[in-house]
Amino acid sequence: MLTFTWRSLVQRARRLWRGSLQLRTVAITVLLSTLAVTVVSGYMSLSIAANLYEARKNQAIAEARQATVSAQALFDSSVSANGTIDVEAVSRTAQTTIRSVASSPGGTEFAILRTPGQTTEVTMTATQTRALDLSVISDELREQVAQDDGQLYTQAVTLNAATGRPDPGLVVGGVFEVPTAGQYELYLVYNVRDVQQTLDFVQQTLVIGSLLLVGTIGLVTYFVTRLAIGPVRIAAETAEKLAEGELDRRIPEKGEDVIATLARSFNRMADSLQRQITQLATLSRVQQRFVSDVSHELRTPLTTIRLAGDVLYEQRDQFSPTTARTAELLHAQVDRFEAMLADLLEMSRYDAGAVDIDTEPTNLVRLVEESLDALRPLADEKGSELRLVAPGGYFEADVDARRIRRILQNLLGNAVDHGEGRPIVVHVDSDATAVAIAVRDYGVGMDAGQLERVFDRFWRADPSRQRTTGGTGLGLAIATEDAQLHGGTLDVWSEPGEGSCFRLTLPRERGATVHHSPVDLPPAEPLEVDLLGTDGLALERGEEDA
Amino acid sequence: MTARILVVDDDAAIAEMVGIVLRGEGFDPHFSYDGPAAMEAFASVKPDLVLLDLMLPGMDGIEVCTRIRETSGTPIIMLTAKSDSTDVVRGLESGADDYVVKPFNPKELVARIRTRLRPAAQSSVERLPIGDLVIDVTGHEVTRDGVPIALTPLEFDLLLALAMKPNQVFTREMLLEQVWGYQYKADTRLVNVHVQRLRAKVELDADNPRIVMTVRGVGYRAGTAR
């Protein structure tokens, strides 16, 4: 659960990161400026510390030197004429002198220690200020100092002050010669807390300053990007709305800068888009209107012609043979003209995009049966046996029954026309998403060139062939449109001399599209063996609807 | 007696040709060429049936249809050039009994006319109950608690067809065959629209029908007699 929450949090952050250009810009700017400021202030802090410390050290050394020199001078001048010296008295005076010389802030402690390992006639008492802890003067330092090479030696130490907090300290050591008493070492111990305090303050100021700087940079970046990205975001939102069809959307145009140029160009583009879409919509409306008008205008005279032709046709046996034949021709051609007009109007409706499908759950097996029944008289006339193979049994699909019936009548009509009197087999099958109807004939078939053109408008496989089912040359084109309207497909297989197979595949639910078909093309044929046989074959049927 | 048929069409050629066909079949056609003239002719000729073009100058077919229905139940067959437009539904909703799509053939037209003119189905009983209504078969009258309800002949036929077999569920196709005389698949909108019109007249609460009951996915049946 916890990991899940964590993961979702990470995912949200990632989404936010990817989704917001502004967040990215601000974050990257802040990160980089933090890095730069850290480096700069680190360098500053280090060099300030070094300088401060160096200055203090130099001051301490100078003081120590003067103290040593003063002490030496004092001792040297205190030797009496007879060569004796009251070392203890001089030592006290020297201590006062040292104290007055070494008067740095922070308090200075000192110690006068006898260099070990000498034998002299008198010994001066080693002395030290009260607050000094002798342990801070390390043996290494004492050894260096005792060499008496005229140099002063320093060492950084830690002082345990009365406050309980350890303070940084500096020990400077030098030597002087006490007449009759030998070599003594003078150690001055400086408390450099004040330097550390100054350094601390400087560092603190640097850190606060850096934080403020980074914060300011972040804020500035935020506002600048907002200024720059804001109009881009508005443009993006407007483009989105425009794409969704709100053609009236525009970007507000302000100023003369590049953003304003973007807005103006975008708006010009939107204007032209809107104009063209409106124009297309008007054209489409005009087209539909035209179709509707043509429909009415042509049908009115055609109705009269049709009625007249039929009246004449009914009375043809009272006419002379020539006139009678004329009446027959008139009758037949008026029928054909009517069918053609209907197909043409249907076609132009598709072209105008003015077609809606009216779907309802339909049992396709029953639909195929009805179509087969309707075609049976014609098929009998041609000698073709009609068979149905429906292994899938009972199923329903959401289709426009009128359009599917029209497709079936067209496919079956073609099959009968080109079937050479051989059986015609209709396969119906379905799976979870699609239903398919395949109409297979064993007639003349088509070669590759014909196959290519078979769905073209006004194309006929064999113009000279005697047609029995009317035929306007638009049937398959309309069938294709009808199939596409359902989100389905119509495809074909054919071999010269072996016949043809047209397969209609439809999605079971409206709005879906098909990607595969439940029936192979050409379908696997359980009936192949019996095709040319004469014995009647029972229809293979699944369970029919109750 | 020859049935008088009023042919209303603005195209004189169609009107004349339809007239020739109708005379050949033994009807007595009268003609008018626009809406107002149709209304006058309807009053003076008192036709047994009206053939009405939907697109008319002056007053369109829908309005003529509505005006005729206000005063009379005379059968009206629309002539329309549009088979799949909303015009058909509007025509049916305004009271037309049936429609024929141009171009039509004479046999089809005559068959439609004869169906609408034939006497209603014969019943062995004189009075039939349906819901809380009583159908007087011979008197061609429907009453609720003795108060007559005015129905067009088609609506009467529809109600009678349901009442004669109270236990039968009728599919739309069955009703198309029995009431409209279609032998083949026809437009089931005919049934839907006329059931709505019938319900508007006979139901006390059209949203909750008690006389013409819907059987979901199948069709309609008669409400139980009270």
Return the domain boundaries, chain B: 4-117, 127-222
* H/E element, A112: strand A108-114
**Residue A335 pLDDT exceeds 60:** yes
Instruction: State the nearest Cα–Cα gap between B79 and chain A, in angstroms.
Output: 10
**Residue B24 pLDDT exceeds 50:** yes
**Residue B127 pLDDT exceeds 70:** yes
Distance of CA A224 to the CA centre of its chain: 25
- pLDDT value of position A538: 39
Residues 325-354 of A with CB under 8 A from B: 338
Average confidence score pLDDT of chain A = 82
* Secondary structure letter of residue A123 according to DSSP: -
| Confidence grade of residue A325 (pLDDT, cut at 50, 70, 90) | very high
Lowest mean pLDDT among A12-16, A498-502, B53-57: B53-57
Instruction: State the nearest Cα–Cα gap between A292 and chain B, in angstroms.
Output: 8
Highest mean pLDDT, choosing among A220-234, B25-39, B69-83: B25-39
- pLDDT value of position A34: 92
**Among the listed residues B47, B105, B117, the one whose alpha carbon sits nearest the alpha carbon of residue B79:** B105
**Residue A204 pLDDT exceeds 50:** yes
Phi/psi at B195 (5° precision): -65, -40
Antiparallel, parallel or unpaired: β A360-363 and A396-399: antiparallel
**Residue A440 pLDDT exceeds 80:** yes
- pLDDT value of position A77: 85
Put simply, whether A314 touches B (Cβ < 8 Å) is yes
| Confidence grade of residue A532 (pLDDT, cut at 50, 70, 90) | very low
**Residue A473 pLDDT exceeds 90:** no
**Residue B135 pLDDT exceeds 70:** yes
Tokens 């629309």: give the residue.
B78
- pLDDT value of position A2: 56
Q: Please give the residue of chain A at the shortest CA–CA distance from B21.
A: A311
**Residue A280 pLDDT exceeds 50:** yes
In sequence order, what E strands does chain B have?
A: 4-8, 28-32, 49-53, 76-80, 98-101, 127-130, 133-136, 141-144, 147-149, 170-171, 212-215, 219-222
Mean pLDDT of A48-74: 87
- pLDDT value of position A61: 87
| Confidence grade of residue A366 (pLDDT, cut at 50, 70, 90) | confident
**Residue A453 pLDDT exceeds 50:** yes
d(CA A344, CA A194): 104
DSSP reduced 3-state for A75:
helix
DSSP reduced 3-state for A329:
helix
Instruction: Find out if CATH 1.10.10.10 is the number for domain B127-222.
Output: yes
Interchain contact, B24 vs A300, CB within 8 Å: no
Sheet order of strands, B141-144 included: B127-130, B133-136, B141-144, B147-149
Mean pLDDT of A374-385: 87
| Confidence grade of residue B123 (pLDDT, cut at 50, 70, 90) | low
Nearest to A310 among B13, B55, B106 (CB): B106
Helix, strand, coil in percent for chain A, rounding step 5? 55, 15, 30
The answer for residues whose C-beta is within 8 angstroms of residue A527's C-beta and 6 or more apart is: A387, A389, A423, A425, A537
What the block records as the tokens of A448 is 């590759």
- pLDDT value of position A467: 53
* pLDDT: which is higher, B60 or B32: B32
- Quick check: B86 and B129 in contact, CB under 8 A? no
Instruction: Find out if CATH 1.20.58.1000 is the number for domain B4-117.
Output: no
Which residues in chain A are closer than 8 Å to B20, comparing Cβ atoms? Answer: 307, 311
- Quick check: A402 and A360 in contact, CB under 8 A? no
| Confidence grade of residue A395 (pLDDT, cut at 50, 70, 90) | low
Average confidence score pLDDT of chain B = 85
Interchain contact, A307 vs B82, CB within 8 Å: no
* pLDDT: which is higher, A164 or A280: A280
**Residue A212 pLDDT exceeds 90:** yes
Interchain contact, B105 vs A299, CB within 8 Å: no
The answer for residues whose C-beta is within 8 angstroms of residue A481's C-beta and 6 or more apart is: A347, A350, A355
- pLDDT value of position B7: 94
Interchain contact, A300 vs B21, CB within 8 Å: no
Which residues in chain A are closer than 8 Å to B106, comparing Cβ atoms? Answer: 307, 310-311, 314
Q: Please give the residue of chain A at the shortest CA–CA distance from B105.
A: A307
Mean pLDDT of A321-348: 87
Nearest to A310 among B11, B81, B105 (CB): B105
A494-523: b (≥16 Cβ within 10 Å) or e: beeeebbbbbbbbbbeeeeebeebbbeebb
Mean pLDDT of A76-92: 80
Instruction: State the nearest Cα–Cα gap between A304 and chain B, in angstroms.
Output: 5
B198-225: b (≥16 Cβ within 10 Å) or e: bbeebbeeeeebbbbeeeeeebbbbbee
| Confidence grade of residue A536 (pLDDT, cut at 50, 70, 90) | very low
Q: Please give the residue of chain A at the shortest CA–CA distance from B15.
A: A304
In sequence order, what E strands does A407-525 have?
A: 424-430, 434-441, 489-495, 499-507
Interchain contact, A304 vs B11, CB within 8 Å: yes
d(CA A174, CA B9): 137
Interchain contact, A296 vs B20, CB within 8 Å: no
Mean pLDDT of B53-80: 86
| Confidence grade of residue B226 (pLDDT, cut at 50, 70, 90) | low
Instruction: State the nearest Cα–Cα gap between B110 and chain A, in angstroms.
Output: 12
- pLDDT value of position B40: 92
Put simply, whether A250 touches B (Cβ < 8 Å) is no
Sheet order of strands, A127-128 included: A127-128, A108-114, A182-191, A166-178, A153-160
Interchain contact, A305 vs B24, CB within 8 Å: no
| Confidence grade of residue A4 (pLDDT, cut at 50, 70, 90) | low
Put simply, whether A35 touches B (Cβ < 8 Å) is no
Name beta bridge partners: A397. A362
Lowest mean pLDDT among A384-398, A441-455, B160-174: A384-398
Instruction: State the nearest Cα–Cα gap between B105 and chain A, in angstroms.
Output: 6
* pLDDT: which is higher, A541 or A406: A406
- pLDDT value of position B133: 86
Mean pLDDT of A231-255: 84
Nearest to B14 among A295, A303, A314 (CB): A303
Put simply, whether A277 touches B (Cβ < 8 Å) is no
Put simply, whether A292 touches B (Cβ < 8 Å) is yes
- Kindly report the pTM of this predicted structure: 0.56
How many contacts (CB atoms, under 8 Å) link A and B? 52
- Quick check: B152 and B199 in contact, CB under 8 A? no
Put simply, whether A24 touches B (Cβ < 8 Å) is no
Name beta bridge partners: A439. A426, A502
**Residue A537 pLDDT exceeds 50:** no
- pLDDT value of position A541: 40
The pLDDT tens digits of the residues spanning B183-195 come to: 776 777 888 889 9
Put simply, whether A300 touches B (Cβ < 8 Å) is yes
Q: What percent of chain A has pLDDT over 70?
A: 90
Domains in chain A, start-ordered, CATH in brackets?
261-349 (1.10.287), 358-463+471-541 (3.30.565.10)
Nearest to B106 among A292, A305, A307 (CB): A307
- pLDDT value of position B27: 94
